[in-house]
Amino acid sequence: MARAKQIPSTPHAATTGDGGELHQAASAPEARLTTNFGVPVSDDQNSLKAGRRGPALLEDFVLREKIQHFDHERIPERIVHARGSAAHGYFELTESLADHTRAKVLTEVGVKTEVFVRFSTVAGGAGSVDTPRDVRGFAVKFYTREGNWDLVGNNIPVFFIQDAIKFPDLIHAVKMEADRGYPQAASAHDTFWDFIGLMPESTHMIMWAMSDRAIPRSLRMIEGFGVNTFRLVDDADEAVLVKFHWRPKLGTQSTLWDEAVKIAGADPDYHRRDLFEAIDAGDFPEWEFGVQILTQAQADALAFDILDATKLIPEELVPIRFVGRLVLNRNPSNFFAETEQAAFLPTNMPPGIDVSEDPLLQGRLFSYQDTQLSRLGSVNFHQIPINQAKGCPFQNLQRDGHMQTQVFEGRANYEPNSLAEAGEDGGPREDPKGGFRTFPLAMGETKVRLRAETFADHYSHARLFFRSQSKIEQAHLASALVFELSKVTLAPVRTRVLANLRNVDETLATRVAAGLAMDLPAKSKAAAAPVDMDLSPALRIVGKYPETLKGRAVGVLVSDGADGAVVEALRKAVEAEGATVKIVAPKIGGVTLKDGKKLEADGQLAGTPSVVFDAVALVLSQGGCAELVGQGAAVGFVQDAFGHLKAIGFTPEARPLLDKAGVKADAGVVDLTGGAGAFLKPAKTRQWDREPKVRDLA
């Protein structure tokens, strides 16, 4: 056996195990590697051993400290919303709400308030994929001058349940089944639908969760909602009720289900990467901030209870007043320190914003503070930089505790005190006028454990949502129900859900039953008979988002011998409209163009399928196309682009590949011979007219 070489151990020659020099050694104190307590480390490559080939020594505090810290690098992931991506930015008020609130963040027009925003999926673990069918969290931490305001919302304006006491049941039902530990990040399984079928109040949320909203194209393209009803309170302690809204500048846009499933394999980090890269490139995502405001009298006159989080207020009924904007312009510097350690609390509210009696919200007021203790492990989690109140000082008489990082001076750790009279610092004092005052809601009811009768209508809003959708979206929704219920192995569970769907809309129930090849069961008994509400076209996505190339990605598949001038003209035209262009080639080294020049590739064909693009172009030579026609990855690239209703630009040499992939001529299949111009229009949206030709929907 070869004997290990003597390893020199001097500060100037850190070495690899075979004695080769790898690292620049530091001599200046500020550049030195040290232990956590500042002791300079002389050798970070070799542990301390009893002899050259001997066992490690317990004495090696450098090794032990490093390994021990590593052993504890992970903290418990969030029980829900574990998978998340975040960014820094600012909120700017454009119109004052001083007529309703004293919260400065909502009254000082033009002031930019720093924010940290975390988007998330709900059901999957921290390492799960970005594109399952799921609700997306939209949590905004405003570092206001009057303390942090956490608006912890979702991309869907309603929720599955009415009372917080059912939340653990809901989450247990949707997460991996308890005995088998699967499926991960998927609602398409027995226990979820079992719970849903038995909880008719979830039906409205199910409509949303089965709609395309639950498979967003990008986190930059989701709406946000505060969901629960809150209050705005003015100086005179007068209050109005309020619903909060975020509207993405790029419009609300989604993937198709088949596409979302394939993206999960092609790029599990699709949304995280998309957000990071957009911000990195200076293409800052932006949302409008809006409020729906109602007086208590207006709320009382509604046909539903706005304390019930399974209901929404159609914007046709109460318009949204847009009063601000949110811009995300900086990526986190460190994922763990910021995105993972961020703790959002619906109880974080500045004076002038207050809660309602919504029984879901009431439970949330306890839950978030509590969960941080098990996740972050200390009552001092507010001292972690990402959670600190940055817009103002925080000071009180709370002291000590696990991981206390503040060094308090003086003796004033109680109040009242008269230390100031003795010339000492007496500490901070309450502010009766400027401090947070709870809205003085008149109470005086009997204690009960029941659901208000005004919460009994479980179907009218589900019907409103379904019937307000475009034909395309209705077909997607029905097909999503067929897909999910087809994964349910317990037939009575499928039957129960169908029986409930009959209360929503008979055509929907019939379509889903047909898709399952099941007989329609008798309608389930509704706690309150559903009513027809005025439709709300504002609830659609298709036809609402702006047709634009902004924020989109175009993939250009090239081969050796391709015409570089076509690629360049396309790139110029597409980039001028705000999209990014990625070159895809059979090999990562790129291709040699017709004129002999080299064109670098951004992605290799086999690892860069068309699902990661919004539109594609095929710029091929005759020979290049002949080779690609025999390759599954190339055929799949085109087939999927067509199936996913994307624009396809092509040079005439690419025709054999189009034919092999079964592409049929339509307005979205564009010959690039006449220039890139004609490609731009279809590339700004999906070719919805194509869908019936490529897919059978329920």
Q: In 3-state terms, what secondary structure has residue 192?
A: helix
The 8 Å CB, 24+ separation contacts for 374-383 are 374/76, 375/75, 375/76, 375/77, 375/78, 375/343, 376/75, 376/341, 376/343, 377/75, 377/402, 377/403, 378/402, 378/403, 380/404, 380/405, 381/341, 381/343, 382/343
Q: Does 157 bind ligand HDE (CB under 6 A)?
A: no
How far is the C-alpha of 38 from the C-alpha of 32, rounded, in Å?
9
> Which secondary-structure segment (H or E) carries 554?
strand 553-558
Cα angle 279, 284, 290 (rounded to 5 degrees) comes to 135
Choose, by CB under 6 A, the member of 85, 121, 154, 341 that binds ligand HDE.
154
Q: Which of 15, 43, 78, 106 binds ligand HDE (CB under 6 A)?
A: 78
Per CB under 6 A, the list member of 81, 461, 571, 644 interacting with ligand HDE is 81
Using the rule CB under 6 A, give the single segment among 16-24, 367-375, 529-537, 571-579 that binds ligand HDE.
Answer: 367-375
Least gap, CB of 260 to ligand HDE (angstroms):
20
Is residue 363 within the footprint of ligand HDE (CB under 6 A)?
A: yes
Nearest-approach distance from CB 166 to ligand HDE, in angstroms: 8
Applying CB under 6 A, among 371, 380, 404, 470 the residue interacting with ligand HDE is 371
Examine residue 153 and tell whether it contacts ligand HDE (CB under 6 A): yes
Distance CA 378, CA 342 (A): 13
- 368 part of the interface to ligand HDE, by CB under 6 A: yes
**Would you give the distance in Å from CA 2 to the centre of its chain?**
54
Position of minimal CB gap to ligand HDE: 137
Q: CB 406 → ligand HDE: shortest distance, Å?
A: 23
- The burial of 28, by beta-carbon neighbours within 10 Å (0-12 exposed, 13-18 middle, 19 or more buried), is given as exposed
Closer residue to ligand HDE, CB minimum distance, 50 or 79? 79
HSE, side-chain direction, 13 A CA sphere, residue 566: 26
Residue 411 to residue 293: CA distance in whole angstroms: 47
If one asks whether residue 174 binds ligand HDE (CB under 6 A), the answer comes out as no
Minimum CB distance to ligand HDE, residue 339 (Å)? 8
Name which of residues 227 to 256 contact ligand HDE (CB under 6 A): 227-228
User: Closest CB to ligand HDE among 308 and 653?
Assistant: 308
Point out the residues that are catalytic.
81, 154
- Tell me, by CB under 6 A, how many residues bind ligand HDE: 27
DSSP result, 312-369 = ---TTTSPPEEEEEEEEEE--S-IIIIIIT----TT---TTEEE---HHHHHHHHHHH
Report if residue 344 touches ligand HDE, rule: CB under 6 A: yes
- Distance in Å, CB of 121 to ligand HDE, minimum: 10
Binding flag, residue 79, ligand HDE (CB under 6 A): yes
Q: DSSP of 505-533, one letter per residue?
A: -HHHHHHHHHHHT-PPPPPPPPSS---PP
Which residue from 325, 364, 476, 686 is in contact with ligand HDE, where contact means CB under 6 A? 364
Question: Measured from the CB of residue 157, what is the shortest distance to ligand HDE in angstroms?
Answer: 9
Q: How far apart are CA 75 and CA 408, in angstroms?
A: 28
Identify whether the C-beta of residue 605 lies closer than 8 Å to the C-beta of residue 641: no
Q: Judged by CB under 6 A, does residue 164 bind ligand HDE?
A: yes
**Which of 106, 139, 306, 583 touches ligand HDE by CB under 6 A?**
139
Min separation Cβ 84 and ligand HDE, Å: 5
Report the residue from 101, 113, 120, 218 that binds ligand HDE according to the rule CB under 6 A: 120
Question: Could you tell me which of 533, 583, 525, 532 has the C-alpha nearest to residue 559?
Answer: 583
Specify the amino acid at residue 419.
L
Interface residues with ligand HDE (CB under 6 A) are 78-81, 84, 118, 120, 137, 139, 152-154, 159, 164, 167, 227-228, 309, 342-344, 360, 363-364, 367-368, 371
